[in-house]
Amino acid sequence: MRRQRQFAQIDVFSPTPYLGNPVAVILDAEDLEDADMLRIARWTNLSETTFVLPPTTREADYRLRIFTPGGELPFAGHPTLGSAHAWQELGGTPKIAERLVQECDAGPVEVRRRAGLLSFAAPPTRRSGDIEEEYLGQIVDAFGIDHDQVLAHQWVDNGPGWAVVRLATAREVLELQPDLSRIPAAMVGAIGAYPDGSEHAFELRTFAPGVGVPEDPVCGSMNAAVAQWFLRTGAVPGCYRVSQGRRLDRAGDVTITADPDGTIWVGGNTNTLFHGTAYA
């Protein structure tokens, strides 16, 4: 039987409302079945819809399940920040001030607030290393680029299954017109640098046909895993900003910072744009 539940739609990773990546958040979701959650996610038709449940571990403040229109993800970045924002705004109180712990299928994820921004600690990658040549060839073919345009490539999988290619410039990334029918199961991105002195260090684009999302406007999980790769190899300093979503008329702005202990934080603005009641 349907009942009323608290609902919010949060815009994540942009200082300008309606130019980030929206996530639908349904609280009080503990009695919803898997099929219900997937049906709701397909109906909202956003890149992700989340469902907040009571935690099953002592350290966590709440448990989160994350669905795309195509299925469930063990972890995702902008849904983590948007759900943390909604949970606190709609009455949730973390066990430790200015810090909360989200339980999800990828394990515990810490979220903190500093200088007005929510950030999540990048979870460990499940898979790294170079992309296999056969799959890399499929990506290059789908992206419509030459193989020698790829400066580097890497598996950056922290749950969703991401792989990424690095191109020389942000312009090359923005000019991509991928034929995703050639890689229908892919979870893949492309990143390229802006000139020195630019507001952002990189432009990132994320394509997720494998879960029913042709292009994600702003992707926290890929930014997290790419940051781990870049910082591990010395490709970037400990703090930088990424632009994402320009080809979708968005203005995503992702801040990457690294603590002295090596923890990488992925942060951005979060704004409630809709809140009310869901009947589910």
Supply the residues annotated as catalytic.
Answer: 48
Give the residue from 83, 115, 119, 79 showing the smallest Cα distance to 99. 119
Distance separating alpha carbons of residues 36 and 44, to the nearest angstrom: 12
Written as one string, the DSSP assignment of 116-150 is: TEEEEEPPPPSB-SPPPHHHHHHHHHHHT--GGG-
Encoded amino acid at 188, one letter: V
Contact 11, 20 (CB under 8 A): yes
Distance separating alpha carbons of residues 9 and 264, to the nearest angstrom: 26
Contact 164, 226 (CB under 8 A): yes
Contact 67, 47 (CB under 8 A): no
What is the distance in angstroms between the CA of the first residue and the CA of the last residue of the chain?
A: 8
- Do the bridges between strand 163-169 and strand 188-193 make them parallel or antiparallel, or are there none, so unpaired? parallel
